[in-house]
Amino acid sequence: MTTTFKVYAKKAFPELDKFTRTIEKVHGENHPELREVRQLFLTIQDKTQKDDFTRVMLTSDIARLQSITANYTPPADACQAYQKTYVMLKALDETYQK
C-alpha cells in the first residue's frame, strides 16, 4: 500500500523541521543553498497544513527543491543528518508525485 503525501508529510514534518534547521545552521556557510531548502520546506509545510490544501499548490515548490538539491543528492561533506534530510525530502517528493 502506498503512503499518501498528506500522511507522509504529517509523519515526516517534525523531523524535517528539525533537520532542515540544523543542517542550515551547521553547513549553511559552505552550502548557501540550504537557506533556500529550509525556506522551501517551511513553505511546503505551511501550504500543506491549510484547510483548502490541494496538491497543485506545491508543484513549483517541489520542483525548485528538487532542482537546488541536485535531485536530493547530498554533497560529499554531508553529515548523517544532512544525508537523512535529503532522503526524507526525496520521499516527500515521491509521495507527492503519486
Say how many domains are in the chain: 1
pLDDT in tens, 18-63: 999 999 999 999 999 999 999 999 999 999 888 777 778 899 999 9
Q: Per residue in 56-94, pLDDT tens?
A: 889 999 999 999 999 999 999 999 999 999 999 999 999
Structural domain range at position 48: 5-97
Measure the CA–CA gap between 98 and 38, rounded to whole angstroms: 23
The DSSP 8-state label assigned to residue 4 in this structure reads P
Residue 43 to residue 53: CA distance in whole angstroms: 12
